[in-house]
Structure 1
Amino acid sequence: MNNEDFELHNIPMLLGANKSKEYQNQIIRLSTSLLTFLKENHLLINVEPFDLEGNLKTDFILMKSAVTEDGFDLFRKYVSGWLKYLDKSTVENKYENISRLEKGLAKIRELKNL
């Protein structure tokens, strides 16, 4: 695979896709959960997706160059499945359910240590 840089998660583009406040709130909630997970698991490189008050920066664009190898593998293999779950789920706290991401990262790290 080449080293070309590209967008993994573009918050301004996602927010601009629909003017509905409900939709935009969903994007902010899913982005906050995803980026918090990446940050807490040390998968981000030299980027800060949150402001000083801990709020999501709505102009943040996550590039491939700003994630670790494990972070990129997580996007390639597991993030789309988590997003599909969010689309289908009607549970109120679905954005806090990051078990798919946790299990995916554990598998990635386990395979690395074989």
Structure 2
Amino acid sequence: MRKHHKHLHLARRKMGHIIDELYTALLHYGSADVDLHIKRMENGMRLYVQSNFSPEHIQHIQRMGELLNPAVRSPAMVEEYWELAGEDQYTSDSEMALVGQMAEEAELTISGDRVNIELFVAF
């Protein structure tokens, strides 16, 4: 049971970091409306994000989608990078790449000036 609590705590910590990075980046990319919804499931947490963005930032939003879906997810990299990540790099590719590593699944879709993001973090 104790191991489950450790995994739950780590998942909550990851989700907090993910939320911070996503809404900070979206606000930076011109969002005036960010909706976040978290659903706790038996094996993890699912995050739903809906937001608008400024059309001139479409390439940044597309890049965000690429970074959220790395070719290889490395739990060891997340553990090591967690302590090294600086809070002042909120819009950097390295921070969004870390978010992509923390999530077991991520999907980003763009429709006009709206973006939908769905992420899953396991316990």
More helix by share: 1
Range class of TM-score, shorter chain:
0.3 to 0.5
More strand by share: 2
TM-score, structure 1 normalization: 0.42
TM-score, structure 2 normalization: 0.39
